[in-house]
Amino acid sequence: MLLLAAIADAAPTRPNVVVILADDLGYADTGYQGSPDMVTPNIDSIARSGVRFSAGYVTAPVCAPSRAGYLSGIYQNRYGFEDNPGPYRLREDVKIGIPKTVKTLPERMKALGYVTGIFGKSHTGDDIQFHPLNSGFDEFFGFINGASNYRSDGKWGTKINQPSNPIYRGFQKVEEMEYLTDAIGREAVSFIDRHHAEPFFLYVPFNAIHGPQQGTDQDLEKFKDVVNEKRRFALAMTCALDRNVGRVMEALRKHGLEKNTLVVFFSDNGGLPKNNGSLNTSLRGVKGQLWDGGIRIPFCLQWPAKIKGGRTLDFPISSLDLLPTIVSTAGGKADGVDGMNLIPFVTGETVPPNRNLYWRFNRAWAVRDREWKLVNQGSKPQLFRIAEDISEKTDLYVQQPDVVKRLQADYEAWNATLMPKLWGWDKSFPVFDAKGTGE
C-alpha cells in the first residue's frame, strides 16, 4: 500500500487548463507589451512567469470567426464561418456557427475526462445548436451576442439584462447587477473552487475592452487625469480585466494548482482606437483589417511545471495552435487540425517549422511565413519583410517577384481548399483607407 501511494504521489498529473481571452485589446495595451499607461500586473505576470509570443496571431480581425478558429483548431473559412453572425447573410438558410461535424476544443477535453466551463462572451452562433452547453461545455455563464452592457444603474441609464441579449446561466436567463467584468471573474473563480479536485478546462472570454465603453466609478476615478476620454475608459476597463485575471490566478494558487496549470492569455483581434481607445502601436491597421494591427495580438502563456519563464519567442504562432497544444498536454491527440502543438518548440525540444499562416476576410487576404507577409487589403497585393518591418511600411512587391510568386501560389492553393463564401459584409463593411487607419 505504501509503495502504491508513493508511486501515485510521484506520478505526474495532467495539467488543468485556463484560457483567458480579452476582447478588442490592442497589441500595445498591456504593460508587458510596453504600454506606459495600462495597469496590467496580473496579465504581465503570465508573460513573466511563462513565455511571450511577439508574433502571436488570430485567424480573423473580428470577434466571432476568430473565436471559431481557436475553438476548432481549423481555419474557420473551411466551414463557412467568414464573419460575425448577423442579419447580413447572403443566404437565409445558412446557420452561422461551428458545424457539428467539427469537434471543438471543449468536446475534446470533455472526452479526455475534463470538466469544462465557459464564463463570458460566447459569440460563436446564436442558433440553439451552437449554445455553449451544446458545444462541449458543462457550465456556462455569460451572453451569446457580440457585445453587452457592463453595468445596470440609473446613473448611466444602462441595463445589462436586456431582453434581446440576456445573461444566461446554462440555458436559463438570469438577472445580473454586478459590473459584468467582475461578474465573469466571480463565476470563473467559483468554477475553480468547485472543481479544483478534478482536471478542468476553464475558458474565460471577457468582453472587456469591447464597447460600449463603461467602467466602474472606482476604476474611472483612478484615471481621472487622462484627458482623452476614450483612452480613460480603455484604461479603466483594462484595469478591471486585469483585476479579474488576478482573481483567477489567485484561485489557482489557493488550491495549489498554479504550477501544473497551463494558462493562456490572448485577445480575439486587434484594437479599434477610434472606437474603444485601444492602441496597436507599432502595428499598421486596426480591427477589421488584415494589416497586423487587426490580427496580431498580445499572446502569452505559462505552465511553471513544464515551461521555463521570462522569455520572448519571436517565431509566428496562431490561435489555431491552442487546440493541439491543449489537447496534447491533456494526453489526447488532435488529428485533422490546422494548428500545431507549441510545447515542443516552447521547451526547446524541437525547432519550429517555417510554415505559412493564412487569412481570408471578405475581399481581403494575406499569407505570412517566418520572414515575409503578402497582403491584399485593398486593390492590389503588397509584400513586406514582416520579420524586420513590423509596421508594414516598405512595400517590396516589385523588388521581390520570386517571393511574391511563391506566397501568392501558396495562398491560392490554400484558398482552393476552403468553403465558398456564402455570406459576409462584402457590401456594407466600412471602407478603410489605403494607409490602414480606418474611417
Omega prior to 212 cis, within 30 of 0: yes
Instruction: Report yes or no: 396 and 342 within 8 Å, Cβ to Cβ.
Output: no
pLDDT in tens, 26-36: 999 999 999 99
pLDDT of residue 93: 61
Instruction: Report yes or no: 274 and 438 within 8 Å, Cβ to Cβ.
Output: yes
Quick one: how far is CA 71 from the chain centroid?
10
pLDDT at 161 over 80: yes
Q: What share of the chain in percent tops pLDDT 70?
A: 91
pTM over 0.95: no
3-state secondary structure of 51: strand
pLDDT at 359 over 80: yes
Of 123, 131, 195, 210, which residue is the catalytic one? 123
Our answer to whether residue 239 is catalytic in this structure is no
pLDDT in tens, 276-322: 999 999 999 999 999 999 999 999 999 999 999 999 999 999 999 99
pLDDT in tens, 178-208: 999 999 999 999 999 999 999 999 999 999 9
CA separation for the pair 393, 416 (Å, rounded):
30
pLDDT at 136 over 70: yes
What CATH class does 2-346 carry?
alpha beta
Mean pLDDT of the chain: 91
Confidence grade of residue 426 (pLDDT, cut at 50, 70, 90):
very low
Beta strands 200-205 and 261-267, pairing class: unpaired
Q: What share of the chain in percent tops pLDDT 90?
A: 84
Phi, psi of 119 (to 5 degrees): -135, 110
Confidence grade of residue 155 (pLDDT, cut at 50, 70, 90):
confident
pLDDT at 148 over 60: yes
CA separation for the pair 337, 112 (Å, rounded):
17
3-state secondary structure of 194: helix
pLDDT of residue 419: 86
- Written as nine digits, the cell of 141 is 455563464
Report CA-CA distances (Å) from 343 to 297, 299, 301. Answer: 20, 15, 11
pLDDT of residue 8: 34
pLDDT of residue 12: 53
pLDDT in tens, 208-254: 999 999 999 999 999 999 999 999 999 999 999 999 999 999 999 99
Give ∠ CA 396-402-404 in degrees, rounded to 5.
55
Domain extents in the chain: 2-346
> Average pLDDT in the 9-32 region?
88
Our answer to whether residue 195 is catalytic in this structure is no
Q: Which long-range contacts (CB under 8 A, 24 or more apart) does 226-232 make?
A: 226/37, 228/277, 229/277, 230/273, 230/274, 230/275, 230/276, 230/277, 231/37, 231/277, 232/277
Of 63, 131, 195, 210, which residue is the catalytic one? 63
pLDDT at 421 over 80: no
> Average pLDDT in the 94-110 region?
91
pLDDT of residue 90: 46
pLDDT at 435 over 70: no
3-state secondary structure of 247: helix
pLDDT at 437 over 80: no
The beta-strand segments (E) located in 72-196 are: 115-121, 139-143, 167-169, 172-174
